[in-house]
Structure 1
Amino acid sequence: MQLGTRWAAGSEPPASVPAALRPAIAEVEADLSASSGSKGHWTLTWLEGRAIAELDAGWEVFQTAAGDIVARPFQD
């Protein structure tokens, strides 16, 4: 795993965040802001060459091996 970067939810993601993940990140932030006002910080990491953005409020956004973008609450 390669560590990426960290940024505050609601702010512009760093340039290192892949363009494919940005719309899903924005959607998660909008949904959380509307429902609970929850903020927090995102952490970008890389696993097997694929980016994973995790929000410390309990969400993850990632791209599957097939290229699909997934945004979901953390799985137990």
Structure 2
Amino acid sequence: MQLGTRWTVGAEPPASVPGDLRELIAAVEAERADASGHWTLTWLEGRPIAELDDGTRVTLAGVVPPQSADDSDDEW
């Protein structure tokens, strides 16, 4: 079992964050200088996922921007 963790945007990610993911997180932070809040690292089926408070997700497959309310697939 792998436990997740949280850290502040701009701070050094914890040692449990894989190197490849660290690079992607650093790229997001560099691209979004206005980013603030915290990252949360979780594990899904053994794969790391880092999520920023605004919903931006970073996985080893790439970066997924947050969805806005207008991007919802709900057709009510």
TM-score by length of 2: 0.79
List gaps (5 residues or longer) in structure 1. Answer: 64-68
1:6-54 deviation line (CA, Å, top 9, x unaligned): 0000000000001110111001011110xxx121100000000000000
Q: State percent identity of aligned pairs.
A: 62
List gaps (5 residues or longer) in structure 2. Answer: none
Answering whether residue 59 of structure 2 is matched by residue 62 of structure 1, we say: yes
Answering whether residue 66 of structure 2 is matched by residue 74 of structure 1, we say: yes
Asked which structure has the greater CA Rg, the reply is: 2
Is 2:38–2:52's contact at 8 Å kept on the other side of the alignment? yes
**Regions of 4+ moved over 6 Å:** none
Higher strand content, 1 or 2: 1
CA distance in 2, matches of 1:3, 1:15: 12
Q: Which residue of 2 aligns with 1:5?
A: 5
What is the CA RMSD across the aligned residues, in angstroms?
Answer: 1.8
Is 2:5–2:42's contact at 8 Å kept on the other side of the alignment? yes
Question: How many residues are aligned here?
Answer: 68
Question: Residue type of the partner of 1:39?
Answer: S
Specify which structure has the bigger relative contact order, considering alpha-carbon pairs within 8 angstroms and separated by 6 or more residues. Answer: 1
TM-score by length of 1: 0.79
